[in-house]
Structure 1
Amino acid sequence: MKLKYNIDFVEDKYIKSNLKKAISVLEKSFYTHKEVSSFFLNPFEIKIIKDIARLNSIDIVFLSPNIKSERKIFIANPYSSNLNSKDYFSVLEFTHKDIRHPDVLGSLMNLGLERNDIGDIFIEYGICEFVILNKEKNFVKFNLSKIKDESINLKFKEDNTMQNLDIEYNEFMGFVSSLRLDNIISELINLSRAKAKNIISRRLVKIDYQTIDNPSKEVQEGSLISIRSYGRFIFDEIKGLSKKGNYRIKYRKYK
Structure 2
Amino acid sequence: MSLEYNLNFIKDKAKKSNIKKAISILERGFYTNQEVSSFFLDPFERKVIGDIARKNNIDIVFIGGNDKCERKIFVANYYYLPLEESNYIKVLTFNGSEIKHPDVLGALVHMGIGRNSIGDISVLNGLVEFAVLEEEANFIKYNLSKIKREGIKIEIKEESKLIKEKEDYISSTSFISSVRLDNIVSSLINSSRAKAKILINNRLVKVDHQTITDPSYNLDEGAMISIRREGRFIFDRIKGLSKKGNYHIEYRKLI
TM class, shorter-chain normalised? over 0.9
Could you tell me which amino acid in structure 2 is paired with residue 235 of structure 1? Answer: F
Q: Within the alignment, does 1:50 sit opposite 2:50 as a pair?
A: yes
Partner of 1:102: 102
In the alignment, the residues of structure 2 paired with residue 159 and residue 32 of structure 1 have an alpha-carbon distance, to the nearest angstrom, of: 30
SS of 2:8 mapped into structure 1: coil
Could you tell me which amino acid in structure 2 is paired with residue 45 of structure 1? Answer: E
Superposition deviation, residue 202 in structure 1: 1.0
Contact 2:41 2:72 in 1 (8 A): yes
Partner of 2:120: 120
Q: Which string of whole-angstrom CA distances, capped at 9 and with x for unpartnered residues, describes residues 204-230 of structure 1? A: 110000011111111111000001101
Partner of 2:229: 229
Partner of 2:161: 161
Partner of 2:2: 2
Superposition deviation, residue 80 in structure 1: 2.4
Root mean square deviation, CA, Å: 0.9
SS of 2:251 mapped into structure 1: strand
Partner of 1:16: 16
Matches within 5 A, 1:1-255: 1-255=1-255
Q: List alignment gaps of at least 5 residues for structure 2.
A: none
In the alignment, the residues of structure 2 paired with residue 100 and residue 82 of structure 1 have an alpha-carbon distance, to the nearest angstrom, of: 32
SS of 1:158 mapped into structure 2: coil
SS of 2:218 mapped into structure 1: coil
In the alignment, the residues of structure 2 paired with residue 27 and residue 57 of structure 1 have an alpha-carbon distance, to the nearest angstrom, of: 12
Q: Which string of whole-angstrom CA distances, capped at 9 and with x for unpartnered residues, describes residues 171-197 of structure 1? A: 101011111111101100011111111
In the alignment, the residues of structure 1 paired with residue 214 and residue 103 of structure 2 have an alpha-carbon distance, to the nearest angstrom, of: 30
In the alignment, the residues of structure 1 paired with residue 209 and residue 198 of structure 2 have an alpha-carbon distance, to the nearest angstrom, of: 19
SS of 2:226 mapped into structure 1: strand
In the alignment, the residues of structure 2 paired with residue 4 and residue 37 of structure 1 have an alpha-carbon distance, to the nearest angstrom, of: 19
- Percent pairwise identity: 57
Could you tell me which amino acid in structure 2 is paired with residue 117 of structure 1? Answer: S
SS of 2:196 mapped into structure 1: helix
Could you tell me which amino acid in structure 1 is paired with residue 137 of structure 2? Answer: K
Q: List alignment gaps of at least 5 residues for structure 1.
A: none
TM-score by length of 1: 0.98
Q: What is the aligned length?
A: 255
Could you tell me which amino acid in structure 1 is paired with residue 70 of structure 2? Answer: E
Q: Which runs of 4+ in 1 moved over 2 A?
A: 79-82
In the alignment, the residues of structure 2 paired with residue 237 and residue 159 of structure 1 have an alpha-carbon distance, to the nearest angstrom, of: 39
In the alignment, the residues of structure 1 paired with residue 114 and residue 164 of structure 2 have an alpha-carbon distance, to the nearest angstrom, of: 24
Superposition deviation, residue 64 in structure 1: 2.0
